[in-house]
Amino acid sequence: MANRIFIHHEGFMQPNDLDRIARQIRLRDVQAVYEAGAGHIGGEMSAIDILTALYFQVLRIWPDQPKHPDRDRFILSKGHVALALYVTLAKRGFLPEEEISTFLKPHSRLNGHPNCNKVPGIETNTGPLGHGLPVGVGIAKAAKLTGAGYHTYVLTGDGEMQEGSNWEAISSAAQFGLDNLTLIVDHNRFQQGAALKDTNDLAPFPPKLEAFGWDVTEIDGNDIGEIVPALQRRGTRPHCIVAHTNKGHGISFMQDKVDWHHKVPNAEQYKIALAELSEAL
């Protein structure tokens, strides 16, 4: 289990350290997609900086006790980018790093969507879009009812925000005063098959969330220096972070290309991706 990184939840890492970890996660993600011959690589690249900030700086978690009652809860609502979460969990110590090589193989517990019954560190099964935030609202409400001190984070895609269930959850969260809930919208401007603006353009998101009674922060979602303080922000209302990201971030030929929503690099593209991601390691 070489190169595993362990960090106490009260520790502090510099943005440069977190950037290096994010680049390592991107590199292993690309390798796993290439080896498996499948994966939602574009949305994985856009979300990895957020996942890195959460798991290596923000979340109060214990990898050796994944069900610790005081842990913060994180829900990957855009469950099709499960591989990025698996690599992050492995690097954080929840599962063996060598297990990533089993992604999508027969009998592997690392399926195309996360399964809380099989993978430590997964809070709930996701895949059908629009389910993660309603579950997160329930988890945050439960904390209020029981006096628990954990915080709940939910990551959705911007295309996923077209699901009506999300807006019902947003309304409920404001009604319940869930100041222990943070929603992160991975606003990479593309969904499966098309740009958001050509499908059902809900952007800009901030005025809509504010109209529902939420606090909203807009950030560069591929800048660790902006992500960490936004995730740590606390107020008196539920909080939404609109994270402006790039689909395929970090790989020149993938970035902002809709066809990389679900696509596998060929041998030459794979070589280029490895070189670009390895450059600053």
> Strands 194-195, 190-191: parallel, antiparallel or unpaired by DSSP?
antiparallel
* Alpha-carbon torsion angle 108, 29, 94, 239, nearest 10: -120
What's the CA gap between 112 and 85, in Å, rounded? 11
Residue spans per domain, the chain: 16-278
Give the pLDDT band of residue 102 (cuts 50, 70, 90): very high
Measured CA to CA in angstroms, residue 81 lies from 29, 76, 164, 209, 281 at distances of: 10, 8, 21, 24, 23
Which helix (H) or strand (E) covers residue 50, if one does? helix 41-53
Give the pLDDT band of residue 39 (cuts 50, 70, 90): very high
Average pLDDT (243-260) is: 94
pLDDT at residue 196, as a whole number: 84
Q: Percentage of the chain with pLDDT > 70?
A: 95
- Decide: residue 145, CB within 10 A, 0-12 exposed, 13-18 middle, 19+ buried: exposed
Average pLDDT (219-240) is: 97
The token pair that represents 266 in the structure block: 């060929």
Give the pLDDT band of residue 181 (cuts 50, 70, 90): very high
Which helix (H) or strand (E) covers residue 25, if one does? helix 15-36
Per-residue pLDDT at 7 exceeds 80: no
Give the pLDDT band of residue 193 (cuts 50, 70, 90): confident
The token pair that represents 185 in the structure block: 């919208």
What's the CA gap between 256 and 33, in Å, rounded? 18
Q: Which of 247, 249, 243 is nearest to 229 (CA)?
A: 243
Average pLDDT (76-84) is: 97
Per-residue pLDDT at 220 exceeds 70: yes
Q: Which of 227, 223, 135 is nearest to 181 (CA)?
A: 135
Per-residue pLDDT at 65 exceeds 70: yes
pLDDT at residue 198, as a whole number: 85
pLDDT at residue 143, as a whole number: 98
Per-residue pLDDT at 195 exceeds 50: yes
Give the pLDDT band of residue 11 (cuts 50, 70, 90): low
What's the CA gap between 94 and 86, in Å, rounded? 9
What's the CA gap between 32 and 103, in Å, rounded? 7
Per-residue pLDDT at 211 exceeds 50: yes
Chain centroid to CA 118: how far?
19
Per-residue pLDDT at 28 exceeds 70: yes
Residue indicated by tokens 């499948």: 38
Supply the pTM of this predicted model: 0.94
What's the CA gap between 23 and 62, in Å, rounded? 23
Average pLDDT, the chain: 94
Angle, CA 124 vertex, CA 209 and CA 237 arms, to 5°? 25
Average pLDDT (202-221) is: 98
pLDDT at residue 101, as a whole number: 98
**CB 69 within 8 Å of CB 3:** no
State the architecture of 16-278 in CATH terms. Answer: 3-Layer(aba) Sandwich (3.40)
Per-residue pLDDT at 5 exceeds 50: no
What's the CA gap between 247 and 22, in Å, rounded? 15
- Decide: residue 227, CB within 10 A, 0-12 exposed, 13-18 middle, 19+ buried: buried
pLDDT at residue 173, as a whole number: 98
**CB 21 within 8 Å of CB 52:** yes
The token pair that represents 39 in the structure block: 């994966």
Per-residue pLDDT at 10 exceeds 70: no
pLDDT at residue 9, as a whole number: 44
Per-residue pLDDT at 1 exceeds 80: no
